[in-house]
Amino acid sequence: MPKMGEDHLLLSSTHPDTSPPAGGADPADGQVATWSDALKAWTALDPTPGGVTVHGLLTGLDVDDHAQYALADKSRPATWVEADDLWPRQIQDMSGRHHHDLQFLSNDDHPIYILNLGRPGGQTIIGATGSGEHLTLQSTSHATRGYVRAQDDLQLLSNIIRDSGGTARLTLATSSPHIGVTGDLDITGHSAMGNGATVSAGYALRAVETLDTHPCAAGHFEIHGDRATGPQFSYGIAGSASGEGGTGPNFVYGLYFAAFHKSSGTTSSLGAIAVQLQSAVAGSGAITIARGFHLSAGYWAGSKPTTIRGLDIEEQGGAGTGTAEAIKALDQTATTARLLELGPAIPYLRVVGGAAPGAGNTNLYMSEGATPTLRRLQTKDGAAIGGGDLVCVLV
């Protein structure tokens, strides 16, 4: 290419940059060096057919020829104008963007999280992924704890409730026994068990087979063992006590009750155990023997006691006691009234009641002779047999 000189005054006055075209190569003969304002450089223009090969050299670049693209002036598409989060932002504006500026935040778009408002089909909370790990629910981070509340019924699929040490204390089952308790049971308040039993302030424990209105409404303990057909033995209370170990306890009682007088008023009757025999209105069957207290035959497979006492009453009087009666039986009005009967079929001793004995007679009968015969004790005037004192004879 010839040197730029006086032959190119017009070119040099229009384009101050009169350096050779970009790339350092001189245009070939027939080519024209032209200035590109878009490229800020001299370009060799080939006048031969083939067109412009550089996009920046095209004309009409300011015409909207590409409808598939969004316009920078936000006139296309229309949603650019409606959605604020699609407006152009400067880099320095990015720190001012907030999550709450987004749309549709109420949509359930994250199924990996628990939805507080509930999710169709229910939700499962899994606490951990490792073996033996736990899910812990805590009411508050404050030192004063609140409660973890179950608003509705609680169903345990494992059927086990454990204590803090991991021991299974309460087990549930769909078949009998439905509830199992391991360990000690301490109940504060009132309890009711059985079909139709209701908790009442008058009973610490009320267990009935059918709904029952007991006449002793102030009682504290009531157990009924009602059965439609009745087993061979029916017990209201059945239990046992054993003294185990090398030394054993000093006292072993199968049943022990204590009664306390704690009122400032008068207690008409104080008894550790009170027994009442009854026959229900519907009880039409025969009753052979009714016992208020029954000591059945002992069973001594091992050691035998030195002394056996069916009824043992220790000294109850003491200073200040008016009258102490170890055993008291009121008179009976039955057809055959016997206040005391001791012994076999022909008793050794019998005390009868029901009527006054009459002159010279007593209500005491005693067994007499090698072949026992029950004889009545009578009184005779001693003068009739040579003395002045009253004597007793068996007749």
According to the model, what pLDDT value does residue 5 have? 45
Lookup result for tokens 């059927």? 159
Exposure of 117 by Cβ count < 10 A (0-12 exposed, 13-18 middle, 19+ buried)?
exposed
Between CA 138 and CA 194 the distance in angstroms is 37
According to the model, what pLDDT value does residue 1 have? 42
Q: Are residues 11 and 95 in the same domain?
A: yes
Q: Are residues 88 and 11 in the same domain?
A: yes
Q: Are residues 89 and 162 in the same domain?
A: no
Which among 226, 253, 278 is the end of a domain? 226
Which residue from 201, 205, 259, 263 is spatially nearest to 236, judged by alpha carbons?
205
Residue 320, both tokens: 């200040």
The answer to whether position 80 is within a domain reads yes
The answer to whether position 381 is within a domain reads yes
According to the model, what pLDDT value does residue 191 have? 77
Residues sharing a CB contact under 8 Å with residue 111, sequence separation 6 or more, in sequence order: 119
The answer to whether position 233 is within a domain reads no
Q: Are residues 12 and 77 in the same domain?
A: yes
Dihedral, 54, 56, 59, 65 alpha carbons, nearest 10: 100
* Under 8 Å between Cβ of 84 and 96: no
CA angle 317, 318, 324 (to 5 degrees): 15
The answer to whether position 109 is within a domain reads no
The conformation of residue 221, written as its DSSP 8-state character, comes to E
Q: Are residues 12 and 75 in the same domain?
A: yes
Q: Are residues 347 and 358 in the same domain?
A: yes
Q: Are residues 169 and 198 in the same domain?
A: no
Q: Are residues 85 and 12 in the same domain?
A: yes
According to the model, what pLDDT value does residue 391 have? 63
The answer to whether position 113 is within a domain reads no
Helices (H) and strands (E) counted in the chain, each on its own, are 2, 13
Cis peptide before 177 (omega within 30 of 0): yes
Q: Are residues 221 and 162 in the same domain?
A: no
According to the model, what pLDDT value does residue 342 have? 93
The answer to whether position 53 is within a domain reads yes
Residue ranges making up the domain that contains 198: 187-226
The conformation of residue 261, written as its DSSP 8-state character, comes to -
According to the model, what pLDDT value does residue 260 have? 86
Q: Are residues 17 and 97 in the same domain?
A: yes
- Number of domains, the chain: 4
The answer to whether position 167 is within a domain reads yes
Residue 140, both tokens: 């508050």
Rounded CA Rg of the chain: 56
Q: Are residues 42 and 86 in the same domain?
A: yes
The answer to whether position 15 is within a domain reads yes
According to the model, what pLDDT value does residue 338 have? 93
Q: Are residues 166 and 209 in the same domain?
A: no
* Per-run averaged pLDDT (10 residues), the chain, 395 residues: 44 46 52 68 61 74 82 71 52 63 83 89 93 94 95 94 95 93 86 70 59 44 55 68 69 84 88 87 85 90 92 86 89 92 92 91 91 88 64 68
